[in-house]
Amino acid sequence: MFERYTEKARRVIFYARYDASQYGSPYIETEHLLLGLLREDHNTAQVLLPNLPSKEQIRQQIESKITQRERISTSVEVPLTKDSKRVLNIAAEEAERFGHRHVGTEHLLLALLEVEEGMASEILRGSKVDIAKLRERIGKLPPQASGSSTAAPSSWTHVAGPDTAIETLQEFVASLRAGNWSELGDLFTREASFVDAAGNLWSGSKQILANLEILLAPFAKKDSKYQIETQVGRSRALWICTILWVGIHLNEHSFPEPVRMTLVFGNGAGEWSIFLIQISSVAEEQTGKTAAT
């Protein structure tokens, strides 16, 4: 489903998941998608909707309408609601109507308006949106690539190839264990994001690179073992892989639970990786999965 999504559109969903967990929501609601869109591409949203309130004002509106609960751990699955799934489906349909090969943040914005049952639509329509003019503005936007126009940097040019996923992972781990932080730094673009095991968000390559060794050093331990648990989005433009790790330390204390690292590698339009670190539950550790080097 997401192979046509631009990197920015994919990150909208990533940020929506993050905001949902921060508010303690068991589901990704349309308002979380709206927050994710504004966090990722506020400029485009403001071009398309000139009367759009500021990000801070919209967040305040949302917080006044929801019940904030205790933050949910990043190890807990937070699924999309029915309305949020409709948003993603409608965005793809709208892209087709425009004759666009990509699904971008502009299509997500339009879809958020069209799912009238969602809080996002209610908030956006409060800005006196003219749907006809919005469509006209979207039609005038410069063409975008869905993820294949710009070559990837350094030695990672083949990272998204479906036949080289294992090889790429081995290179990644080898760089970790050799402490080649500069090579790993090539994976992060200016707008990269990293959510660590504590649920803290690290935004932008400058902040991530300044703390790269702290963030990744636990996985550099020679006695840490790993296995590819799941792979999705394996294409020349995108490779998403969840790795299960055991035998690592995330701080002074040893975690008995395995740790999941979700890697999103892509070479579309110069946009690169999103990392999400998750601590699994003890119950999951007892399922009998065997990690292999």
Give the number of other Cβ atoms within 10 Å of residue 47's Cβ: 15
Residues 251 and 134 in one domain: no
21 and 106 assigned to the same domain:
yes
Please give the pLDDT value at position 85. 93
- What's the confidence (pLDDT) of residue 135? 93
Q: What is the CATH number of the domain that holds 102?
A: 1.10.1780.10
- Is 147 among the domain residues? no
Q: Kindly report the CATH number assigned to the domain that includes residue 169.
A: 3.10.450.50
Co-location of 270 and 200 in the same domain = yes
- For CA atoms 45, 47, 49, 54, the dihedral sign is positive
**Do the Cβ atoms of 95 and 102 come closer than 8 Å?**
yes
Q: Is residue 164 part of a domain?
A: yes
Digit-by-digit pLDDT tens for the chain (293 residues) are: 566 888 788 888 888 988 898 899 999 999 999 999 998 888 889 889 999 999 999 999 999 999 999 988 755 778 899 999 999 999 999 999 999 989 999 999 999 999 999 999 999 998 888 899 999 999 888 765 433 333 333 333 333 444 445 566 777 778 888 888 877 777 776 667 777 766 677 877 788 888 888 888 778 877 778 877 766 555 545 566 777 887 776 654 444 567 777 776 654 444 444 565 555 543 333 334 433 33
The Cα–Cα gap between 107 and 90 comes to 8
For residue 91, which of 70, 109, 74, 77 has the smallest C-alpha distance? Answer: 109
For residues 55 and 37, the answer to whether their CB atoms sit within 8 Å is no
Task: Give the angle 22-2-5 at the CA atoms, nearest 5°.
Answer: 90
Count: domains in the chain: 2
Structural contact between residues 177 and 247, judged by C-beta atoms closer than 8 angstroms: no
On whether both 166 and 265 belong to a single domain, the answer is yes
Conformation bin of residue 247: beta by default, left when phi > 0, alpha when psi is -120 to 50: left
Query: Do residues 190 and 128 lie in contact, with contact meaning Cβ atoms separated by under 8 Å?
Result: no
Among residues 95, 112, 140, which one ends one of the domains?
140
